[in-house]
Amino acid sequence: MKTAITEMFGVKHPIICGAMMWLCKPPLCAAISNAGGIGNLTAANYETEDDFRAAIRETRRLTDKPFFVGITLLPSLRITSEHHKMYVRVCMEEKVAGIEFSGTPLDKVAGMEAVEGLKKAGVRMFHKVGAVRHALHAEKIGYDGIYAAGIEEGGHPLNDDVTTMVLTPRIAESVKIPVVAVGGIADGRGVAAALALGAEGVMMASRFIATKECEVHENIKRELVRRQEMDTVIYGKSIGLQGRGLKSKVIEEVLAIEARQGGFEELIPLLAGQRVKEAWETGDVHYAPLMVGQSIGLIKDIPTCAELIERISSQAKEISARAAKLCGN
């Protein structure tokens, strides 16, 4: 497949891994890039400049292909605005291929000098948005592309609650820079649909958890194969940290606290990042909210990243060819 994304980065497949806290580390990132997609190294896994820079260089040791760094510009007890500025500066210095930003626009966090510095360093900037107005702002200040993130996605879906099927074409018709579809995509059918809607590529995250290379407890991978699309739920909306996660006992507890208008102080111990890290490592799906999207209903096996990406690409090509034939071309 040849799209604006494959041309921009010189990759074989327009399939990008989304940022995932504690999971997007050098081995998974490199495996996806080596398979012809674009891997992701999530910055917030690293609290010091030395560790972050070392992770970038370790990824480069494992692959000579392009990869993204994921930087989430949202309030956090652990990661501060100073961390955000450090991540951006190191990405400039290391000249990474691209950055997936989510949350507050970069110009609001670090000023236009950060945007201009990244452009000067040749680092491509993409922002994950859930509304046309946010896409227009990103384009105006100089971003290179947009992630159109529908409410189906895991992680932190945006509060406008628009589906990928509607959001992708709305943003694609509103901006001139490439759009990447996000949310509910886990196979070639989703890729073909996204391209038909005007996207130049797709971002997947949950699907890459259930791969051989993802460093997560095997119980988590098996659980994603077992669960269905209705087994996720939105939580955290009452405190401005909306997330979509796997239904579990701890999320039931979170929702009960929100229902009785419990506050930030009561919720944070249940949502803490260290608790989530322990859950990924131990395989206990009921210990912490595990952010995954509705696409888990499409996960049927645990392949290597190379097997998964090749399968998705082949299926997308077959579907696109069939659609062209049906249209008489």
Q: Could you give the number of structural domains in the chain?
A: 2
Do strands 98-103 and 67-73 pair parallel, antiparallel, or not at all (unpaired)?
Answer: parallel
329 residues of the chain, pLDDT tens digit each = 899 999 999 999 999 999 999 999 999 999 999 999 999 999 999 999 999 999 999 999 999 999 999 999 987 878 999 999 999 999 999 999 999 999 999 999 999 999 999 999 999 999 999 999 999 999 999 999 999 999 999 988 777 889 999 999 999 999 999 999 999 999 999 999 999 999 999 999 999 999 999 999 999 999 999 999 999 999 998 888 889 999 999 999 999 999 999 988 899 899 988 999 999 999 999 999 999 999 999 999 999 999 999 999 999 999 999 988 888 76
Q: Provide the pLDDT for residue 258.
A: 95
Q: Both tokens of residue 33? A: 């890039």
23 and 44 in a single domain? The answer is yes
Whether residue 321 is found in the same domain as residue 194: yes
The whole-number pLDDT of residue 241 equals 82
Shared domain for 118 and 105, answered yes or no, is yes
pLDDT at 76: 81
Domain identity same for 193 and 244: no
Do 241 and 224 lie in one domain? The reply is: yes
Residue 186 and residue 299 in contact, taking contact as beta carbons nearer than 8 Å: yes
Q: What pLDDT, on the 0 to 100 scale, is given for residue 100?
A: 98
Which domain range does residue 318 map to?
Answer: 4-216+300-326
Q: Are residues 151 and 196 in the same domain?
A: yes
Q: Are residues 240 and 199 in the same domain?
A: no
Q: Are residues 142 and 235 in the same domain?
A: no
Do 54 and 83 lie in one domain? The reply is: yes
User: SS3 letters for the chain?
Assistant: CCCHHHHHHCCCCCEEECCCCCCCCHHHHHHHHHCCCEEEEEHHHCCCHHHHHHHHHHHHHHCCCCEEEEEEECCCCCCCHHHHHHHHHHHHHHCCCEEEEEECCHHHHHCHHHHHHHHHHCCEEEEEECCHHHHHHHHHHCCCEEEEECCCCCECCCCCCCCHHHHHHHHHCCCCCCEEEECCCCCHHHHHHHHHCCCCEEEECHHHHCCCCCCCCHHHHHHHHHCCCCCEEEECHHHCCCEEEECCHHHHHHHHHHHCCCCHHHHHHHHCHHHHHHHHHHCCCCCCCCECCHHHHHCCCCCCHHHHHHHHHHHHHHHHHHHHHHCCC
Q: Does one domain contain both 55 and 93?
A: yes
- Identify whether residues 223 and 321 lie together within a single domain: no
- Give me the CATH number covering residue 152: 3.20.20.70
Whole-model pTM: value is 0.96
Same domain membership, residue 279 and residue 150:
no
